Structure formats: structure tokens, C-alpha cells
């Protein structure tokens, strides 16, 4: 009977020792988990280490509608972790457990919820180009929407630095990320302006870098008149020319290059490189009261028929006949609408008419003159072409 009792006591005592070993091997769970937003792309977690035998800690995270997934771990006694794989305007929930070679803690730490902020957009302002006396072109590029959709974007300009959308001189190019282009209009000649791109989301409005530009100075030209063989009165030189032509290739008589339907606003200068047209309509160059008539008071752009009637009086149907006429027409070339480069200089002359083709929408007629021929042709209205005005 004694032997039996001794064996039972040994078994019972052995079980107690195994339990004590098990309790020592499994680490206690961490506690007091907290999270703080350190920057737009970083959340820092901290917690209390309650065990002495852990190998490290593993961090799990989920969003409100997701499941917990492991996102990282720290070594023994390290109770700080930075989460940098974040999205803006998102609620994250964290929890942590300790582990060692035997296994993980029986429980997790407390859960901690934190929401990343919603930011205003990030963008830059485009350089200003195609500067004229009363217009220019700029725009911007939005690199980040700040975590919410772009509601509006555009540019804003003023004679004072740091313009904001509270003023009226601005554009609105709609919603969305990426690059955009805007036209600056209604500015005064010979004036310094400040322009910034802007973008607005639900968090607010952000601005790009500020750019300064100066509009073109207005130049005054003096014109005389001549009477052609048709009996009509014309200006004696092209618009923008400083003198009557002394030859078909006289550079001082070439004058400016206008886009069809556009007034004298600086785009016509041969150095402007303008290829973008402002909004126009079919009445822009119709008669002396055309909305954008660039001719002096009482003068207008000639019609296709008036050019044809003049051509019929030349001694030859080419550039020599055009120059020999009382109009002294030159071969001033044209500025291509897609590149801004001047071509055909000294070899061909182009002169706008006010007539628009009936069967070719989006085109306008001009007189084409070169060494072997002359006739009416048509081109894109954004092309820069010479202008000769006729008295109404």
C-alpha cells in the first residue's frame, strides 16, 4: 500500500512542475497600445511590454471593412513601430501580440483606431507663354489630389502677388488630376502680372508656385492709303509693317501675322510664337463692325471676291504681279498653327480674307501668292497670316 501512495504523489507533483514550465514559456500580451500621426505618410505605434521572455512583437492592422493582417514586427524589448504604408483619409485599427519560439501570447493587446488626415492637393504652375498685349497662356499640373477628388482647378492672376480664387480673374478647367492648360485674358498691355495654378478638394484649395510675366507693349503704326485699279482704297502696307514694300522680300514691309478672327493683342507679333486661338465666331472679321476687326477706323478685312477682283488687274498672276500692283504685296510667309514656326518666308505671301468656306467648317480663305501663281486657298484659322485692310 505504501508503494502505491508514493507513486501517486510523484505523478501529481510532476504535473504541477510541467504547468509551471508552460506558464514561463508563453509570453504575456502587450498592453496600453497607442497610435499617433507623425506626418502625412507615417503613424507611430507605442505599447507596454509586459513579458520578459518574448522574442519580439508582431503588429496587425485592418481598415474598418477589412480583416486584420500582419504588417510588421519588432525585436525583443522594442515597443515602437512606424507604419508608412498608408492611404489618406482612411481609418486604421491596430493590435499587437508578443511571441517567442514556443508560440504567441494568449491574447492581443487592446485595439487602437486612428484616421489619417485629408489633405489639400499638391500642384505646380506652368510657365507663361504666348504672351500678348492682353492675353497669355499658362496652366498647371496636379500631382496629388490629397486623398479626395479634385472639385475644380485652374489659374488665377492679378497685379498683386499671391492671387487667390477670391478674385474674379481666374479660370475653371473642371475636375480631375493631371496637367491642364488655361488662357489668361482681359489683362492690360505693358503690365506685370502674377499667376498661380490652383486646385480645390473637400479639404480646401491649394496653389502652385507663383510666376511673374509682363504683357506686351502696344505699338502705334502710321498708315497711308493707296487706290487700286479697281477704284478701291487700301492701306499702303500690311498691318504691322513699318514701311511700304521696296521689294517682294522687304522684311520691313512684311508686317505681323494674325490668326483669323483675332484682334491686335500681341499674338500677331512675329516673335510671339502663338499657336493657341482665343474663342472666336463667324462675325469676328465681318465688316468694319466685326467684333475683333484689327483694321484702323473705317477699314476692314477684304472679302474673297475683293481679292479676286484685285488679282484680275495684276500684270501677271504671281508674286511679281502682286508687288507691281499699287498694293505692293510681299512674300511674308506664315506661322504654322501646330508648331508656331514661320515658314515660306521670302518665297510665298499669304493674305487673309474675311470669307469663310461654306463646305469646309473650321477654315478661312486667304490669297496665296508665290513666284509662279496666285489664287485663293484656305487654312486653319490659327495659322498666322498677313493682313491688308480695305476701306469700307
User: Cα–Cα distance between 70 and 327 in angstroms, integer?
Assistant: 84
Count CA atoms closer than 13 A to 294's CA, side-chain side. Answer: 28
Q: Give the residue extent of every domain in the chain.
A: 2-115, 122-214, 219-392
Residue 271 has what pLDDT? Answer: 85
CA 390 – CA 293 distance, rounded (Å): 12
Question: Is there a contact between 328 and 237 (Cβ–Cβ < 8 Å)?
Answer: yes
Residues of the chain with pLDDT under 70: 1-24, 279
Cα 339 to Cα 317: distance, rounded to the nearest angstrom: 30
pLDDT of residue 2: 43
Tell me the C-alpha distance between 317 and 373, whole Å. Answer: 6
Q: What is the residue whose three cell numbers read 479626395?
A: 148
Distance CA 300, CA 388 (A): 9
Let me know how many helices (H) and strands (E) the chain has, helices first. Answer: 3, 23
pLDDT of residue 1: 41
Cα–Cα distances in angstroms (integers) from residue 358 to residues 258, 306, 361, 363, in the given order: 22, 18, 7, 9
Cβ atoms < 10 Å from Cβ of 245 = 24
Q: Which long-range contacts (CB under 8 A, 24 or more apart) does 293-298 make?
A: 293/263, 294/239, 294/258, 294/262, 294/263, 294/264, 294/268, 294/387, 294/389, 295/235, 295/239, 295/387, 295/389, 296/223, 296/235, 296/389, 298/391, 298/392
> Considering only CA atoms, which of 222, 300, 215, 223 is closest in space to residue 263?
300
**pLDDT value, residue 272:** 83
CB of 90 within 8 A of CB of 112? no
Same fold, 2-115 and 122-214: yes
Cβ density class 150-179: b for 16+ within 10 Å, e for less: bbbbbbbbbeeeebebeeebbbebeeebee
Which pLDDT does position 24 carry in this prediction?
61
Joined grid coordinates for residue 111: 485595439
Got the DSSP string for 335-351? Answer: E-TTT--EESTTTEEEE
CATH topology of domain 2-115: Immunoglobulin-like (2.60.40)
Query: Residue length, the chain?
Result: 392
* Residue 117 confidence (pLDDT): 86
Distance CA 364, CA 361 (A): 8
Query: CA-based angle 219:340:216, to the nearest 5?
Result: 25
Q: Among 277, 278, 266, which Cα is nearest to 131's?
A: 266
C-alpha cell at 58: 508582431
Tell the burial category of 284 from Cβ atoms under 10 Å away from its Cβ (0-12, 13-18, 19+): buried
The alpha helices in 235-382, defined as continuous H runs, are 304-311, 319-324
Q: Which CATH architecture has domain 122-214?
A: Sandwich (2.60)
Amino acid at each position: 500500500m505504501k508503494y502505491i501512495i508514493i507513486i501517486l504523489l510523484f505523478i501529481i507533483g510532476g504535473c504541477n512542475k510541467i504547468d509551471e514550465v508552460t506558464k514561463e514559456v508563453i509570453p504575456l500580451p502587450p498592453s496600453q497600445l497607442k497610435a499617433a500621426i507623425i506626418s502625412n505618410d507615417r503613424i507611430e505605434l507605442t505599447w507596454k511590454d509586459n513579458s520578459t521572455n518574448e522574442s519580439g512583437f508582431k503588429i496587425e492592422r485592418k481598415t474598418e471593412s477589412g480583416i486584420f493582417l500582419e504588417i510588421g514586427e519588432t525585436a525583443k524589448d522594442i515597443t515602437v513601430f512606424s507604419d508608412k504604408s498608408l492611404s489618406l483619409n482612411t481609418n486604421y485599427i491596430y493590435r499587437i501580440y508578443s511571441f517567442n519560439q514556443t508560440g504567441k501570447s494568449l491574447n492581443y493587446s487592446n485595439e487602437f483606431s486612428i484616421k489619417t488626415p485629408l489633405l489639400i492637393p499638391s500642384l505646380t504652375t506652368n510657365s507663361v507663354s504666348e504672351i500678348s498685349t492682353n492675353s497669355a497662356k499658362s496652366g498647371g499640373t496636379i500631382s496629388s489630389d490629397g486623398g479626395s477628388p479634385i472639385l475644380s482647378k485652374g489659374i488665377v492672376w492679378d497685379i498683386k502677388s499671391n492671387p487667390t480664387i477670391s478674385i474674379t480673374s481666374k479660370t475653371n478647367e473642371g475636375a480631375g488630376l493631371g496637367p491642364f492648360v488655361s488662357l489668361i485674358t482681359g489683362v492690360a498691355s505693358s503690365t506685370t502680372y502674377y499667376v498661380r495654378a490652383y486646385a480645390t478638394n473637400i479639404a480646401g484649395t491649394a496653389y502652385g508656385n507663383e510666376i511673374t510675366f509682363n504683357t506686351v507693349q502696344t505699338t502705334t503704326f502710321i498708315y497711308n492709303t493707296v487706290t487700286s485699279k479697281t477704284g478701291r482704297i487700301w492701306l499702303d502696307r500690311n498691318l504691322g509693317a513699318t514701311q511700304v514694300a521696296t521689294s517682294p522680300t522687304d522684311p520691313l514691309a512684311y508686317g505681323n501675322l494674325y490668326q483669323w478672327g483675332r484682334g491686335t493683342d500681341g499674338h500677331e507679333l512675329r516673335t510671339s510664337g502663338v499657336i493657341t486661338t482665343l474663342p472666336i465666331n463667324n462675325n469676328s472679321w465681318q465688316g468694319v463692325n466685326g467684333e475683333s476687326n484689327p483694321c484702323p477706323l473705317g477699314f476692314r478685312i477684304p472679302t474673297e471676291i475683293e481679292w479676286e477682283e484685285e488679282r484680275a488687274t495684276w500684270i501677271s498672276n504671281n508674286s511679281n504681279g502682286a508687288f507691281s500692283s499699287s498694293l505692293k504685296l510681299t512674300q511674308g510667309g506664315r506661322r504654322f498653327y501646330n508648331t508656331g514656326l514661320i515658314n515660306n518666308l521670302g518665297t510665298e505671301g499669304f493674305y487673309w480674307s474675311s470669307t469663310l468656306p461654306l463646305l469646309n467648317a473650321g477654315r478661312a480663305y486667304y490669297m496665296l501668292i508665290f513666284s509662279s501663281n496666285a489664287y485663293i486657298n484656305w487654312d486653319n484659322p490659327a495659322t498666322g497670316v498677313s493682313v491688308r485692310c480695305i476701306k469700307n
